[in-house]
Structure 1
Amino acid sequence: MSSFYAAETPERVQKAQGLHLITSLTPNGRKVHILLEELKEAYGLEWTTSLIDLDKNEQKKDWFLRLNPNGRIPILIDNNTSPPHVVMESSAELLYLVNLADKNDIFWFSDPIEQSEAFQWLIFWHASGQPNQGQYNFFRNKADQSSLAIDRFKSEVLRVYDVLEIRLSGRYGGGTREYLAGRGKGKYSITDVNAWAWIRNIRRIGFSEDELAQFPYLQQWVDHIAARPAVERGLGEWYDEDMHPELLLETSEL
C-alpha cells in the first residue's frame, strides 16, 4: 500500500480503508456524493471522505496527479483491491459504484435495452451537457454579458436542455417521462444523477423567463429529484470544507 501512494500523499488518504472519496462542492463532486448517499440509504454502503480546496490547487500537486493525471476532482479510491483502484471522471465513478454496490439494480438497469438507453443519456450529458454548461458558467461569471463566448455557450446549453425537454415531454411520441432512462416513464438512475447535479440551478444561471418557459418538463424533473432525502444529503454540509475543515487535505509546499 505504501508503495502505491507517494511519500507526500496525505496520511488521511494513505491510511484510508475501503472506499475513499476525494472531492469538493462542484457539480461533478455533488453527483458522486448523491449516489453514495443513495447507496448508503439502500444498502448501508460506507466510505470515507476527504475534501480539496480547489483554490489552493492541491489537486495539481504531484501526489494527486499520481492518482489522477487530469488533476480534477472527484476521485474515488477503492482500497479493497490490491493495489488500490483509482477511478477518475465522475460519470465513470457512478458506473463503478453501481457495478460494485447496486446489487438489485435500484439505480441502474439489468435489461440490455434499458442499459443502452442509460448509456446514451449518460454519455450525452457528459459529452455535450456539462462541457458546455461549464464553459457557460465560467464566461457568465468572468466575461461581459455581451461577449461572443457567453452567447455561444448559452445557446449550446439551451440546445442541450431542449434535447432533455424533448425526452421528458415526449414531444415526438412515446409519452411523458419522469426520468431519462428506462421503459415507460423511466426509472430514477445514475443517468438522472449525472445531469441533475448540473441542471439543478436552472432557474439561477441567467436564463430569462421566456427561456425558462421552454423547459416545463425539465424543471419538473429538477424539482422531483431535489426532493429525495439522499439528494439533499449529497448537497449538504458534510462535503463543505468550511463546515468540516478536519476533512481538508493540505500538504506543504516543496
Structure 2
Amino acid sequence: MKQTQKPIDIYSWATPNGHKVHIMMEECGYRLGKDWLAHPIDIGAGDQFKKEFLKISPNNKIPAMVDPHGPDGKPFALFESGAILLYLASKTGKFLPKTDRAKFEVMQWLLFQMGGVGPMLGQTHHFRIYAPEKIDYAINRYTNETRRLYGVMDKELSKKQYIAGKEYSIADIAIFPWTRSWKNQGLTLEEFPNVLRWHEEIAARPAVQRGVEVLTSLRKPLVDNKARDVLFGKTQYQKR
C-alpha cells in the first residue's frame, strides 16, 4: 500500500513576504490543505516570538517552512522567503532555469527584490502608514526610492515579458506581492506601463489568485497600540 506523504508546513501571515511562498506553493502544483498547510503566525499578536516558531525562524520573521521530506528524506526547516523560493524551485524543478546564464539572471532579480524592493517598500509603508508621527524627510526619502525601483523594473520590462527574461520565474513571484500595495506607496501603476502590463498578467494566474487569498481573512487592520508595539516598539527588540 502506497504511503501518503505528509504535507509541507508553511508558517506565515498575509503579507507580501508570506504571499511569495503561498503563491510558489500553488504554482508548483501543491494544493492547500492537501499537499501543504498554512499555519497562521499573527505578527500583530506576537506569535513570531513564541519559542516553537523561533526554533525554525531564529530571526522571528515570517515565513518559515518545515518540509517533512527534506533533501535527505528527513524533516528540513528553512526561514527567509528567498531561500524558501530557491528550495522549492530546486525541489520541484520549476521557475528557475537550468542553464547557468539564465539561472543567474533570475537570481540577480530575486536578490534585487530581497535587498531592494522588499526593504525599501517596507520602509515606505511604515513611514507613510504606520509610524506614530509623520516625518516628511523619511516619507519623501522612501517614496522617492520606491518610485526609482519601479522605474528600474519598468525599463527592464519594456524589453522582456518577465523581469528576468522570457519565462515566468521565482523573481516574478518574489516581486509581485509587493506591487499589490502600490496605493500605500504613494504612486500609481499607470506611471509605469510596463510594470502595469506585467502586474496584470501575473495577477490573472489562477495559482497567484489562490496564493494571495491564503490567511487573508485572518489579517485585521493594525490599529491598536499593543500591535504597533509588538511590530515596531520595544517588544521587537527584546533579547530572546
TM-score bin, normalised by smaller chain:
0.7 to 0.9
Aligned to 2:117: 129
Map 1:34-49 to 2 at 5 A: 34-40=23-29, 46-49=35-38
1:194 has 2:174 as partner: yes
The 1:241/1:142 distance shift into structure 2, 3 A limit, reads closer
Aligned to 2:184: 205
Q: CA deviation at 1:218?
A: 0.6
Q: CA deviation at 1:109?
A: 0.4
Aligned to 1:93: 84
1:148 has 2:127 as partner: no
The 1:242/1:18 distance shift into structure 2, 3 A limit, reads closer
Counterpart of 1:56 in 2: which secondary structure? coil
Worse-matched range after superposition: 23-32 or 76-85:
76-85
Does the 8 A contact of 2:19 with 2:211 survive in 1?
yes
Does the 8 A contact of 2:161 with 2:198 survive in 1?
yes
Counterparts of 2:155 and 2:121 in 1: how far apart (Å)? 18
Q: CA deviation at 1:147?
A: 1.5
1:181 has 2:164 as partner: yes
- What letter corresponds to residue 88 of structure 2 in structure 1? L
Counterparts of 1:90 and 1:214 in 2: how far apart (Å)? 28
Counterparts of 1:47 and 1:221 in 2: how far apart (Å)? 28
Give ranges in structure 2 of 5+ residues lacking alignment: 220-240
Counterparts of 2:103 and 2:191 in 1: how far apart (Å)? 29
Equivalent pairs counted in the alignment come to: 210
Does the 8 A contact of 1:51 with 1:241 survive in 2?
no
Map 1:1-254 to 2 at 5 A: 17-40=6-29, 46-81=35-70, 84-102=75-93, 105=94, 107-143=95-131, 147-169=136-158, 176-182=159-165, 186-202=166-182, 204-208=183-187, 212-236=189-213, 238-240=214-216, 242=218
Counterparts of 1:88 and 1:136 in 2: how far apart (Å)? 24
Counterpart of 1:72 in 2: which secondary structure? coil
TM-superposition CA deviations, 1:188-235 (whole Å, max 9, x none): 111101000111232x224356xx544110111111100000000001
Q: CA deviation at 1:17?
A: 3.2
Counterparts of 2:217 and 2:187 in 1: how far apart (Å)? 33
Counterparts of 1:234 and 1:18 in 2: how far apart (Å)? 16
The 1:100/1:208 distance shift into structure 2, 3 A limit, reads closer
- What letter corresponds to residue 135 of structure 1 in structure 2? Q
CA RMSD of aligned residues (A): 2.2
Does the 8 A contact of 1:52 with 1:59 survive in 2?
yes
Counterparts of 1:76 and 1:205 in 2: how far apart (Å)? 28
Give ranges in structure 1 of 5+ residues lacking alignment: 1-15, 170-175, 244-254
Worse-matched range after superposition: 91-100 or 51-60:
51-60
Does the 8 A contact of 1:136 with 1:154 survive in 2?
yes
TM-superposition CA deviations, 1:48-79 (whole Å, max 9, x none): 22111111111112221121110011101111
Does the 8 A contact of 2:11 with 2:62 survive in 1?
yes
Counterparts of 2:19 and 2:25 in 1: how far apart (Å)? 10
TM-score w.r.t. length of structure 2: 0.80
Counterparts of 1:206 and 1:123 in 2: how far apart (Å)? 21
Does the 8 A contact of 1:53 with 1:241 survive in 2?
no
